[in-house]
């Protein structure tokens, strides 16, 4: 069965500092991998996705993520965090079994301090 682990429940960074959010996955084949962001009181929005090809993918809002098969990881990075980046971030893996099932991690809540 596919699964996703986000080891950090909560992260605090200073505005302007760099950011890395960790994600590890378990999947039997080459996965589809995603990062979503959820602002307070909102639904989830796709930041970026990896299907195949270049292992470094660029997303919206200046985010990027790198797929590392050997480490089963798909960490999210941003070189300089803005206060508006404060939100909850979810890593996800899928699909599986011919159906449309995407499995989400438990999320990492990002706090940005001045």
Partner 1 sequence: DVKVTQSSRYLVKRTGEKVFLECVQDMDHENMFWYRQDPGLGLRLIYFSYDVKMKEKGDIPEGYSVSREKKERFSLILESASTNQTSMYLCASNSGGRGRNTGELFFGEGSRLTVL
In the bound complex, what is the minimum distance in angstroms from residue 49's beta carbon to partner 1? 6
CB atoms within 10 A of CB 113: 11
Q: Between residues 10 and 79, which has the closer beta carbon with respect to partner 1?
A: 10
In the bound complex, what is the minimum distance in angstroms from residue 6's beta carbon to partner 1? 8
String of DSSP letters for 43-60: -EEEEEEE-SS-SEEE-G
Q: Between residues 52 and 79, which has the closer beta carbon with respect to partner 1?
A: 52
In the bound complex, what is the minimum distance in angstroms from residue 8's beta carbon to partner 1? 13
Binding positions for partner 1, rule: CB under 8 A: 6, 9, 32, 34, 36, 41-46, 49, 51, 90, 94-95, 98-107
Q: Between residues 34 and 85, which has the closer beta carbon with respect to partner 1?
A: 34
Rounded Cα–Cα distance for residues 28 and 69 (Å): 12
Rounded Cα–Cα distance for residues 72 and 55 (Å): 12
Q: Is the dihedral of CA 38, 44, 47, 50 positive or negative?
A: positive
């Amino acid at each position: 069965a596919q699964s996703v682990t986000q080891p950090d429940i909560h992260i605090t960074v200073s505005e302007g500092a760099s950011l890395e959010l960790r994600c590890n996955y378990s999947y039997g084949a080459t996965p589809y991998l995603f990062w979503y962001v959820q602002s307070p009181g909102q639904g989830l929005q796709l930041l970026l996705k990896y299907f195949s090809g270049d292992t470094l993918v660029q997303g919206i809002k200046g985010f990027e993520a790198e797929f590392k098969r050997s480490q089963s990881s798909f960490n999210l990075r941003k070189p300089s965090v803005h206060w508006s980046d404060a939100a909850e971030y979810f890593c996800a893996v899928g699909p599986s079994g011919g159906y449309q099932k995407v499995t989400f991690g438990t999320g990492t809540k990002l706090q940005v301090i001045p």
